Amino acid sequence: MDLKEEILKLKEELDVTLVAHFYQRDEVFELADITGDSLELARKAKETDSKYVVFCGVGFMGESVKVLSPEKTVLMPKIACCAMARMIDEGYYEQNLKQINEAGIANEDILPITYINSSAAVKAKVGEMGGMVCTSSNAYKIIEKGLESGKKIFFVPDRCLGQNFAKQMNLKSAIVGDGSDLKEADIICYNGFCSVHQLFTVDDVEFYREKYPNILVAVHPECDPSVCDAADFVGSTSQLIQYIKDLPIEQKVVVGTEFNMVNRLRDKNTYILSSTKPECPTMNETTLEDVYRTLKSIKDNNISEETLIKVNDETIKWARVALERMLEV
């Protein structure tokens, strides 16, 4: 059986939209109707009018579609959870808030912003406190909007994104629990990070700059602030792709983000900013077989509970508020 052919046939027959993030395996990515960075995927998946959305990505992405469009049946061929999103749950969120309160900052003086890489339950907590969601492509605008409240920003879960944007905006940041003075900070960060983007180091940047003096360095804002400071360009996955595509073919560029995405840009003069292959294990979980099985289960009216994204109504209510606030900005 040619899986690719079978998937294309099933897509024709069914009222379904196949969505894939840039970090997906090539064979899965090629078959998607919608691709993009997290913001684009949230927007476009919300706008589709198909009954079924089959989402190839990590858990928080599928959940965001369900939260924004509860009437849709959202399926994930593999429910793989982003390692960073797993670093925070409602309990840790509350614990951090308590630590912030103990530092002399009351909840009324805090506006929470969560990176989209978090569970719907965390987004709901943030929504309930008047906060909103951001992605790597709109974080600057969202933080700017949040600061209009005159409050301190409590940024969860990615400390790197929080610190990187604080620097860009000439603001002070601090991390809960690392001994830094929270009262002094404009942006108080939760201590989460992406294990894949932690692989890239300033040593790697120096290595490439020494080897190829005219090389450009382009990285994702989930990289450590020291790496972002040393780079020529920092942007979301879509922004990185655009930046690389616009470069003249002879221009070498070394990229600090997930392997599958950079590998798809080999027609440009690209290098990977690490000697270790920077694969996101969870993004790589979804196979063509999984996609086929999921589509077939829709056709046979035999959907597996394991692939079905479910979010309870109360969580949807507040997580949706947090996501909609972002989409409005």
Task: State in angstroms the smallest separation of the CB of 241 from ligand 13P.
Answer: 10
Rounded Cα distance, 174 and 151, in Å? 15
Binding part of the chain for ligand SF4, among 68-76, 177-185, 245-253, 275-283 by CB under 6 A, reads 275-283
DSSP-assigned beta bridge partners for residue 52: 16, 73
H, E, C per residue of 221-232? CCCCHHHHHHCC
Rounded Cα distance, 82 and 283, in Å? 8
285 binds ligand 13P (CB under 6 A): no
Toward ligand SF4, which CB reaches closer, 204 or 258? 258
Reduced to 3 states (helix: H, G, I; strand: E, B; else coil), residue 201 is coil
Judged by beta carbon distances under 5 to 8 A according to partner kind, the member of ligand SF4, ligand 13P, none in contact with residue 83 is ligand SF4
Task: State in angstroms the smallest separation of the CB of 78 from ligand SF4.
Answer: 13
Cβ pair 299, 103 in contact under 8 A? no
Task: State in angstroms the smallest separation of the CB of 141 from ligand SF4.
Answer: 20
Toward ligand SF4, which CB reaches closer, 92 or 292? 92
64 binds ligand 13P (CB under 6 A): no
Task: State in angstroms the smallest separation of the CB of 82 from ligand SF4.
Answer: 3
Rounded Cα distance, 185 and 154, in Å? 10
Rounded Cα distance, 93 and 293, in Å? 36
Rounded Cα distance, 100 and 94, in Å? 10
116 binds ligand SF4 (CB under 6 A): no
Per CB under 6 A, residues contacting ligand 13P are 37-38, 117, 135-136, 194, 220, 222, 236-237
Query: Given the rule CB under 6 A, which residues bind ligand SF4?
Result: 58, 82-84, 117, 194, 196, 222, 258, 280, 282-283
